[in-house]
Chains A and B, each alone.
Chain A
Amino acid sequence: MWDTIIVQPFTNLLLLITILVKNFGIAIILFTLVIKLITYPLTAKQLKSTMAMQDLQNDPKYKKMMAKYKDNREKAAEEQMKIYKEKGISPFGSCLPTLIQFPIIIGLYQSIMRVMASTPLELVKLERIVYPFLDVNKILPIQNRFLWMDLGQPERLWIGTIGIPVLAILVLATTFIQSKVMQPPTQANDQSAAMSNSMMMMMPFMMGWMAYQFSAGLALYFLASNIATVGQYAAMGRVDWSKILPWVKPLEQPKPSVVIDYDEEDEQEEEPEPVKSVKPSARASAKRQRPKMKK
Chain B
Amino acid sequence: MNKKVLRLLVLLVLAGAVLTGCAAGVRAESTPGVTVTDSYVYLAYLNSLFQLDKASGAQLSSFPEKSSANLAMYAAPVVQDGYVYFGDLSNDFHKLTEGNLAQSVWTFEQAKGWYQAKPALDGNLVIVPCTDRNIYAIDIENGTETWVYKGDFAFIAEPVVVDGKIIVSSQDHHVLVLNGTTGEEIYRVEMKGAVLAPPLYDPESGSAYVGSLGREMVSFDLASGDVNWTYETEDLATIWATPILLDSQLIFTDKNGKIVALDPKTGEELWQNNAGGTVIAGATLVGDQGFLVAREDGTISYYSSESKSGDWTVTVPGNIYSKIIVDGDQIFVPVVKADALIYTYNTAGVPGWSFSPSK
Contact = CB atoms under 8 A, between A and B. Distances in A.
Given A143-B153, A198-B9, A202-B12, A127 B193 contact: no
Interface string A192-218: 001100110011001001100111001
B131 interface: yes
Nearest to A124: B280
A122 B215 contact: no
B112 interface: yes
Nearest to A122: B29
Contacts of A203: 12
Contacts of A213: 20, 23-24
Given A152-B154, A158-B112, A209 B20 contact: yes
A183 B23 CA distance: 30
B16 A194 contact: no
A206 B12 contact: yes
A159 interface: no
Contacts of B215: 137
A97 interface: no
Given A137-B213, A152-B131, A198-B5, A121 B12 contact: no
A143 B154 CA distance: 9
A283 interface: no
Contacts of A218: 23
Q: Looking at chain A's contact residues, is the secondary structure mostly helix, strand, loop, or mixed?
A: helix
A153 B112 contact: yes
A205 B156 CA distance: 34
Interface string B190-221: 00111010000000000000000111000000
B213 A140 contact: yes
A209 B23 contact: no
Contacts of A199: 8, 12
* Interface range, B side: 35 or more
B8 A198 contact: yes
A120 interface: yes
A121 B20 contact: no
B113 A150 contact: yes
Max count, chain A CB within 10 A of own CB: residue among B192, B194, B322: B194
A144 interface: yes
A39 interface: no
A122 B9 contact: no
B132 interface: yes
B293 interface: no
Contacts of A123: 194, 196
A120 B240 contact: yes
A253 interface: no
B27 interface: yes
Interface in A124-161: 124-125, 127, 136-138, 140-141, 143-145, 150, 152-153, 156, 158
A144 B152 CA distance: 10
Interface residues of A, number: 36
B29 A210 contact: no
B223 to A, nearest CB: 29
A191 B112 contact: no
Contacts of A195: 4-5, 8
A118 B12 CA distance: 30
A142 B285 CA distance: 33
Given A118-B114, A213-B24, A194 B2 contact: yes
Nearest to B172: A143
Interface string B84-113: 000000000000000000000000000011
A195 B153 CA distance: 46
Nearest to B15: A206
B263 to A, nearest CB: 25
A289 interface: no
Given A122-B30, A153-B113, A194-B2, A144 B193 contact: no
Given A118-B131, A120-B196, A150 B112 contact: yes
A136 B153 CA distance: 17
Interface of A: 118-125, 127, 136-138, 140-141, 143-145, 150, 152-153, 156, 158, 191, 194-195, 198-199, 202-203, 206, 209-210, 213-215, 218
6 contacts: A120-B240, A120-B321, A123-B196, A127-B213, A198-B5, A218-B23
Interface of B: 2, 4-5, 8-9, 12, 15-16, 19-20, 23-24, 27-31, 74, 112-114, 116, 131-133, 152-154, 156, 171, 192-194, 196, 213-215, 238, 240, 280, 321-322, 336
Which 4 residue pairs spanning A and B have beta carbons closest together? Answer: A119-B30, A137-B193, A206-B16, A213-B24
Given A138-B214, A141-B171, A210-B20, 11 more contacts: A119-B31, A137-B214, A144-B154, A145-B152, A150-B113, A156-B112, A191-B5, A199-B8, A202-B9, A210-B19, A218-B23
